Structure formats: C-alpha cells, structure tokens
Structure 1
C-alpha cells in the first residue's frame, strides 16, 4: 500500500482503503443512540410501543431533526422500546459488533441508566443486559468495551437527584465494566456547577469524569465543567475556540475534546462541514479525537466520520492518522492496553505510508 522507496501512499490506495486500514478507538458514542432502525422497529412491535414510526422510511424522516431540542425529544421517545434484559443485551452486542466491523479495537460507550430506571425498569436488568452484550461482543470480535454512565441533564427536572441516582446505580451495579461518569442532554437551562458534588463523589469512588460541554453553549460551560466537574475530557467542546484563554488552558493541560462533526451538523450546533472547528482545533494544538455520537440517528458511522475528516473537513491523511492514534492516549485504557494499541498503530503507519504517532506526552 506504500511505495517501497519513498514510503508514501501510492495512488492505488483510496480514502476508503486508508480509513479501513486504521485501527480505531471510539470515545463518544451513546448506546441508546446507536440502536439500528430495524432493531428499533422490531422492539417497538414486540412491546407494542405505538408512538413511533412503523416503517424504515418513516423512521428516517422521524430522524430529520429541526434542532437540538427536537433531537432530545426523539431520543427520549426511542428509548421507550427497551424493556427487558434481552433488549439491553441485544443493543449492547449489536453496537459493539458494529464498531468492531469498522476496526474499532476499544470503545468507551455511554449509556443512561436513569432514563430506564425512572420508567420502572429494574436497574439489575439494565446493567445485566448491557454487560452480557458487552461480553458477547468481546468473545465474538475481540473488541474491548467499557461503560460511561451518563446523567441525563434536562431543563425543568431535578437534575441533582438524577445525578446522585446515576452515580448510585453505577457504583451498585456497574462492576468492572463502568469506568466513568458522564453528563449529557441539553446545556441551555442545565448549568454545570449544580453537578459538582456528584462528580466529586464519582472521582472519590475511582470513576473518571467526562461531561458534555460547549456543544450548544459557549466556552463558559466548558470552564464550568473543568472547574466544578473535574472534567478529564470534554464531550464536543465545539465552542472552545471562542475563548483564547480556554484554548491555552486546554492545550497546556492536554485535555482532550471528543469531536463528532456529523452530530454537530444534524443538531444545528454547527452550520456545515465547511465551518466546523475541528481543523482549527488541530491547528491551535488542541487534543482532539473523532467520534460518531449517535450514529444511526445521524446517518453516520465512525468510518464515515473519518472519511468526512478527509473529504469534507480537509484534513490530510497524516492528520487523520494522528487523530486516530491520539484517541488511544485519550482513553482510560490501562497502560498495557495502550501499549498494545500503540504497537498496532505503528504497524498500520508503515502499511498506510504515514509517520508513526509521536510518543505519548510529546
């Protein structure tokens, strides 16, 4: 795939072949938002959920979001089809195997147990199902998966209680599979400081802290997530470039941003690929990784996000490789797991005609 003399990628290697040759790590993808349309329809029919479209064409139209609030409305409606342990097992297995088919070696998948528990689902059922699905996929495809339990921050609700309950669920039922506490949902009307005590308790319990911030609001939400929530990574961070002091802080402390371009377009957070901030984030030295967020809902995949990075965002193949390799360092994998993936990226660099990734921390 590379010239034996120059080491450069030859003309015969297409963008698709380049992307398919990349090992990958996914750090920002939602389990509930990864439900395949056919699976959603099957579970809706099985459980008699009658408020959703009844065929695939209507479901695709249902997923044409007017704005971020409309996306949340549809998201909350779709999760109603998840009722029993086998539903959660099916979703976790299908999601992980779908990632593995894209050469994803490791994934930290976010799910929101409180959304299900507040519907009357036994938390033991939720966690047993997702854990069984995770282990099924690991046995079948070798992909490693860990969970981020997500607080569903929603305007007009008791967010403090939902945050506390989410942490309780994670600690009581998560076992070794749960590694972090997240915070999703709308940012407008859901200030981050109120979640400070629960994130402090999560950190004290040994969990990592990875809230969404700066997706549909300005840099202040990112600052609040750093100051009050001990954020180790920032979900989205789309508005970070609006504050030079924040850019300097994120760069100096090497705090990664989990970037999901197609998601940002579909929810209206960014107007087009042409104005997406990812290239400038890289130019300004920010740590970034590339993700799919809610792939079927946004008609994307992680593979497609890498192709968009090349074709729509104008990144070079070297830049795309570096972003993919950086996700290893941004992950919460133990040292031995990171070392194995670094070796795989080094081998892939030779095949793809790019430079190996710089050593961690350089």
Structure 2
C-alpha cells in the first residue's frame, strides 16, 4: 500500500493521446527551475554515499518516499539535505548534467536555471567550485543534446542583505558569461532592503529576476518592480488581487514565471483548480510556465503543460505559453525567431 505522502506526490495520469502528443512535440523553454530542487533521487543517493552525508535514507525507494512532499518545513529539510551532498566540482558537474538530461528528454531547448549559490558559500564550498562544476555540466549538455543552459545565482531573502552581498560578490568575481541574472528567493520577506544590492547587480550587467508575490502579497510584487527594477517576476500569482498592478504588468509586458504544481505543494493555493493561470492569460499577462523544484514537488515541465491543459487551456494557448517562454528569455534573437517558428509549425501540424 502506498504511503499517503507518496500518493500526493504521484504525477497525474496522461492526457488523451492528441494532447499528449502535442505536449511531447512542443519545443519548450524553462525560465524558473532550481538546480538543487531538480536533483533526482538516484543522484541524491549517489552523492550522499560518495560524500558520507548523514541523514539521507539508505535505499532508493526510501529516498523516493522521503521526497514526497508533505509540508513546507519538510521541503526545506529535503532541499537542505540535497544541498549538503554537493561538495566538489565533480558533484556539481554531475547534477548539472543530470538536470540537463531530464530537461532535454522533455524537448526543452533552453533553460535559465536558478543556482542557490549562497547555500554553498555558507558551507565553505567556493564559488569557483560551483561555477566550474555547473559549467562542465552545461558544456556536456550542449554537446549531447543541443540544449542551452544559463544560470541565475540567487540568495534567500530571509537570510538578510549580507547573504545577498556575498552571493553577488562571488558571482561578479567568478561567474562565467553564462550567468544572465541575479535573484532572491527563500521566505518571502520585504524586497526593499535589497534595492542597492540589485542596483549593483544591474550595473554589472545582470538581469533582475526576483521571486515575489507567491505568498507575500501584492506589496512584494510592487517592491520587486519599484525597488529592484524586476525584469521578470518569479511566481507573482498574488498580483491578481490588485487590478492596477495587473494592468501595469500587462502594459509594461513584465513576464510572470508561473509554476502551478509548486504553488499547490507550498499551499499558496488550496486546489489546482484554484490556480489563476487562466485568469492571468485572460488579463493579457505575459505568463511563462515552469516547474520550480520539479523532483521535490513531483512534477516536471511536461507535467505543468498537462496541468495547464486540465485547467482548460487549449493547444493554441499551450503554444502561446511556449512562445511566451521564448520571448521572456535571454537567448539571442536569431534563436528566438527560429524556436517560435518551430512552435508554430508544431501547432499547425497538430491542429490541421
């Protein structure tokens, strides 16, 4: 008999084959996915054994059960245990390569991946080690699959400005050219204290990509826009409570990176049918679809497209979400045009 947590963690059943085939064939972009939150149970077990990390279940089945989300404190425990298994350049290369393999298998062509850099710095793992490892994984992924990965170092806002300063300094000193942005996540505290920090990041050429408005209310989105000059909003679903804010996001074409299953698992919404994704699209927002921490929330990007279809979005609207991801990304213009043409061709083929 399944453990109740495992039951909640089980992916939804497949859609009817026409929708499944369309989602499978659809070229995808992912803009809000966390490297450490994408660690597969097999990788966690391998790294825990390799590095002698205690507190991780000893068998693969036990790890899979342990991954089954129960509440937010449990998620934090699993996330921190995953982080603790990463010590060497080889460890980070393994993780980045595994994440790329998983994305490529879903026909993801490009991804901007959040890296919890401060979580490694605070353990004494150097930024040089982190970046060297994930760059090796990125290069292998490009060679093996043609997938393009970019990095967004971030820090937990609830750890204070000092954590952001350390993260930014390490990024500016050691970050490769594949770093495209700078982010803040963690518990959704006020964003205003980070204004100067994000101004420095933007001056150095990094895009402002904060989390805001998942559980912290509309004020956090206002702060992200006004104080951090946010170019995209991570989550942002609570913006729908403020019509003037919705109009601003729409008129200024600020992308909102939405992750429905994540919002359900963290209790930001009570039921998946309550998710505002359809209303956000109806309001004209530039919404992108993402998986956030996929293995820990029992989902992946393909699963999020299935969820979006179950919320009533037809194939044309799923293709719109895919195009939005391309438009909101920092890939070069030539590749954007080619990928959007491919998305349109897949839609035409499946709706002929």
TM-score (norm 1): 0.90
**Deviation string, structure 1 residues 126-149 (Cα, Å, up to 9, x no partner):** 110001100110011000111011
Secondary structure class of the residue paired with 1:52: coil
Q: Which ranges in structure 1 are unaligned for 5 or more consecutive residues?
A: 1-11, 355-362
**Deviation string, structure 1 residues 272-298 (Cα, Å, up to 9, x no partner):** 111011011111111101001111101
Distance 1:207 1:226 in 2: 16
Aligned counterpart, 1:133? 137
Q: What does 1:225-264 align with in structure 2 at a 5 Å threshold?
A: 225-264=224-263
- RMSD (Å), alpha carbons: 1.4
Q: Which ranges in structure 2 are unaligned for 5 or more consecutive residues?
A: 1-15
Q: What does 1:68-147 align with in structure 2 at a 5 Å threshold?
A: 68-147=72-151
Per-residue deviation, 1:69: 4.0
Per-residue deviation, 1:66: 4.1
Aligned counterpart, 1:318? 316
Distance 1:266 1:60 in 2: 16
Would you say the 8 A contact 2:315–2:347 is kept in 1? no
Per-residue deviation, 1:22: 0.5
Distance 1:242 1:71 in 2: 27
Distance 2:344 2:281 in 1: 21
Secondary structure class of the residue paired with 2:171: helix
Aligned counterpart, 1:166? 167
**Deviation string, structure 1 residues 144-189 (Cα, Å, up to 9, x no partner):** 11101111222xx3x21111111111111112110100111110xx
Would you say the 8 A contact 1:68–1:186 is kept in 2? no
Per-residue deviation, 1:62: 2.5
Distance 1:20 1:65 in 2: 26
Distance 1:185 1:339 in 2: 34
Aligned counterpart, 2:182? 181
Distance 2:338 2:278 in 1: 28
Would you say the 8 A contact 2:118–2:167 is kept in 1? yes
Would you say the 8 A contact 1:106–1:143 is kept in 2? yes
Would you say the 8 A contact 2:32–2:114 is kept in 1? yes
Would you say the 8 A contact 2:127–2:171 is kept in 1? no
Would you say the 8 A contact 1:72–1:185 is kept in 2? no
Q: What does 1:187-206 align with in structure 2 at a 5 Å threshold?
A: 187=188, 190-206=189-205
Per-residue deviation, 1:68: 3.1
Secondary structure class of the residue paired with 1:239: helix
Distance 2:261 2:17 in 1: 25
